[in-house]
Amino acid sequence: MLTIGQLAAYAGVTIRTVRHYHQVGLLPEPERDRSGYRSYDAAAVVRLIRIRTLAEAGVPLARVQELLDADPATFSAAIGEIDRRLRAEVRELQEHRRRIAQLGSGDTLAVPAEVADYLDRVRSIGAPDELIEGERDAWILIAGRYPDRIPALMADKRAQLEDERTVRFYRLIGDLVRGERDDHERIVREMADLLVELFEEAAAAGQLDQQDEFMDDSAFVRLLDSMADENPPVRRLRELLAERGWAGWTRIERAEG
């Protein structure tokens, strides 16, 4: 016969846990012997192990009692249900591990797969890490606000990367980040010239008229624009675009006046 300490040790729990199971009625409390000690038999160890196993699987203690007293068919069905839930939790944890593993590269965390692929393409054409980080943060916001529009937006962005002028624009950003400050104005002016050319073509094709289909929340547009305006070269670029008759950043339109 076993003491409460031996019972707890054999079942892999603490004495405090055994006493708690006594209190809630899961584990019958044996009679005390003439010395005032409780003694437990093998059946108590088996029951305690079953209680521990069900509890560790996430079964509420209120249901543990029900399962312990169930007939074999009911118990088997319940175990199947628990197994399915645990499998789902395992899959969810594996997905969390996959996402956390992406912290090594950083830019793919919290963005859809299409966006991660796009950022990889932007990096492959020589865009600097500073740009990748800024784009990543913007796309995190966009994916949160417009998750259903990401596939179409990404298709458009991938198509833009087929244009050598867009590639040139991203490379100029790299020159801006890596170059001497005295050369910033020349680089920003070349960037403005490229954007104006692209904007004019988009306007002529009617593409700018479709912007509201993708970004119809003006407050959200201002939020995205505020992220860009934190960068001094971007503020200067927007000034140059305004001089050339264009306004906006996230949503492009002809300037008034």
214 or 25, which is more confident:
25
Q: Compute the mean pLDDT over every residue in the chain, rounded to the nearest whole number.
A: 86
- Least confident among 11-15, 53-57, 167-171, 194-198: 53-57
Phi then psi dihedrals of residue 40, to 5 deg = -120, 150
Q: What is the DSSP code (8-state) at residue 209?
A: G
Which residues are CB-neighbours of 178 under 8 A, at least 6 positions away?
128
- Residues 69-90: tens digit of each pLDDT: 888 888 888 888 888 888 888 8
Indicate if the pLDDT at residue 22 is higher than 90: yes
Written as one letter, the residue type at 100 is: I
Name the helix (H) or strand (E) containing 254. strand 253-254
Distances (CA, A) of 206 to 11, 144, 153, 246, 251: 73, 27, 16, 16, 14
**237-249: b or e for each residue (b if 16 or more CB lie within 10 Å)?**
bbebbeeeebebb
Q: What is the pLDDT of residue 227?
A: 85
Token couple for 22: 């006594």
Give the span between the Cα atoms of 204 and 196, in whole angstroms.
12
- Residues 200-232: tens digit of each pLDDT: 999 998 888 888 777 788 888 888 888 888 888
Indicate if the pLDDT at residue 103 is higher than 70: no
DSSP letters spanning 107-158: TTTTS-HHHHHHHHHHHHTT--HHHHHHHHHHHHHHHHH-GGGHHHHHHHHH
Average pLDDT over residues 169-198: 88
Instruction: Give the residue ranges of DSSP H helices in 3-71.
Output: 4-11, 15-24, 42-56, 61-68
- Taken in order of first residue, the domains within the chain and their CATH numbers are 4-101 (1.10.1660.10), 106-254 (no CATH)
Indicate if the pLDDT at residue 246 is higher than 90: yes
- The pLDDT-based confidence of 195 (bands split at 50, 70, 90) is very high
